[in-house]
């Protein structure tokens, strides 16, 4: 329910009413109601499902038409230029192709697109991000602020300050912030049987009814080179994957996964690494962020029934 009220009507409500009573019933005689259809997000794959269309809607709402405020080097090719926006102080280097024939492309401010990169719309690249040479940023790529990305990405959401600079495929996935993926990290997003992909959440197996689905990866997680992740995987917060073996499809937060199996990534050790990673980007972990970090460890403690690293 979404309610938009004047000051007069708002005064009739209190926080307690939302717990004990139905505020709509109280206001139905004085407030006009309208039934609307809105997408409901329950699981991470719902965000992936609506990702492409939401990029298109945001472009129409906030940009409306194409514009170029940055530098475009010779040898760059725009397809459907009216659907391409380039922010201030951004640079697109030679040999790049921007294909906006099937959706808009939004490039924020202070973004660098290195040579010989292809970007297909709909796509969003956030401020201060870097796209490395020879990258293939395919439809539905939604890259947050200050990310460094390369290789092949399709229909995936990256939160800010995440690194995937090397070759490797990430598809139909939701990636948190401050993630670092080693070279040739890849995920599967399609079963060999072309069947619906199932996901494990809190010990329950859920049929997503999606043929294409990659993974969800929590904030501050790291992967080693050549990491391979299966369809429908959930990798928790502050995990460290340091083996080329397939990790389990559900990896609890603060898991240190190696060829020896699963160990607990101790809180203090994980905090040190997170603070170092943030400092490399000229960021300091705030007291509130550290408190949240510690709280995630506490809330997920029961999921980790293995020894400490």
Token duo for residue 47 = 């965000």
Per-residue pLDDT reduced to its tens digit, 227-239: 999 999 999 999 9
> Hunting for tokens 């030679």 — which residue is that?
94
- State the helix-helix crossing angle for 287-299 and 267-280, rounded to 10 degrees: 140
Residues 6 or more apart in contact with residue 282 via CB below 8 angstroms: none
Tell me how far apart the alpha carbons of residues 249 and 229 are, in angstroms, rounded to a whole number.
8
Instruction: Please give the torsion angle defined by the CA atoms of residues 146, 240, 164 and 297, in that order, rounded to the nearest 10 degrees.
Output: -30
Chain centre distance of CA 19: 33
Determine contact, residues 69/49, Cβ cutoff 8 Å: no
- Tell me 209's DSSP state: -
From first to last of its 309 residues, the chain has per-residue pLDDT tens of 666 767 776 776 676 666 666 766 766 776 777 788 888 899 999 999 999 999 999 999 999 899 999 999 999 999 999 999 999 999 999 999 999 999 999 999 999 999 999 999 999 999 999 999 999 999 999 999 999 999 999 999 999 999 999 999 999 999 999 999 999 999 999 999 999 999 999 889 999 999 999 999 999 999 999 999 999 999 999 999 998 789 999 999 999 999 989 999 999 999 999 999 999 999 999 999 999 999 999 999 999 987 766
Determine contact, residues 147/163, Cβ cutoff 8 Å: yes
- So where are the chain's domains? 44-303
- Residue 298: CB atoms within 10 Å: 9
Token duo for residue 275 = 């603070």
Per-residue pLDDT reduced to its tens digit, 102-154: 999 999 999 999 999 999 999 999 999 999 999 999 999 999 999 999 999 99
- Residue 84: CB atoms within 10 Å: 26
The SS3 assignment for 180 reads strand
Nearest residue to 134 via CA among 99, 161, 96, 84: 96
Compute the chain's Rg from CA coordinates: 22
CATH code of 44-303, in short, is: 2.160.10.10
Tell me how far apart the alpha carbons of residues 58 and 44 are, in angstroms, rounded to a whole number.
20
């Amino acid at each position: 329910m979404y309610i938009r009220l004047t000051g007069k009507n708002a005064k009739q409500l209190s926080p307690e009413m939302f717990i004990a009573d139905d505020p709509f019933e109280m206001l139905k005689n004085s407030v006009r109601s309208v039934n609307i259809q809105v997408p409901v997000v329950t699981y991470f794959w719902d965000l992936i499902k609506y990702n492409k269309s939401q990029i298109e809607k945001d472009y129409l709402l906030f940009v409306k038409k194409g514009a170029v405020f940055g530098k475009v080097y010779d040898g760059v090719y725009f397809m459907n230029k009216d659907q391409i926006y380039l922010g201030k102080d951004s640079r697109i280097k030679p040999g790049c192709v921007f294909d906006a024939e099937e959706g808009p492309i939004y490039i924020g401010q202070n973004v660098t697109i290195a040579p010989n990169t292809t970007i297909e719309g709909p796509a969003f690249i956030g401020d201060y991000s870097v796209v490395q040479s020879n990258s293939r940023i395919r439809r539905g790529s939604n890259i947050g602020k200050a990310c460094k990305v390369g290789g092949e990405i399709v229909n995936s959401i990256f939160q800010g300050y995440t690194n995937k600079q090397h070759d490797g495929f990430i598809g139909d996935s939701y990636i948190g912030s401050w993630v670092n993926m080693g070279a040739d990290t890849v995920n599967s997003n399609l079963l060999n049987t072309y069947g619906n992909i199932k996901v494990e959440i809190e010990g329950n197996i859920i049929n997503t009814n999606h043929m294409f689905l990659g993974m969800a990866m929590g904030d501050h997680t790291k992967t080693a080179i050549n990491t391979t992740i299966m369809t429908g995987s959930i990798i928790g917060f502050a995990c460290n994957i340091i083996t080329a073996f397939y990790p389990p499809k559900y990896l609890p937060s603060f898991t240190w996964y190696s060829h020896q199996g699963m160990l607990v990534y101790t809180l203090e050790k994980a905090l040190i690494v997170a603070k170092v990673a943030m400092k490399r980007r000229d960021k300091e972990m705030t007291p509130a962020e550290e408190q949240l970090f510690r709280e995630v460890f506490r809330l997920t403690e029961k999921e980790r029934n293995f020894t400490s690293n």
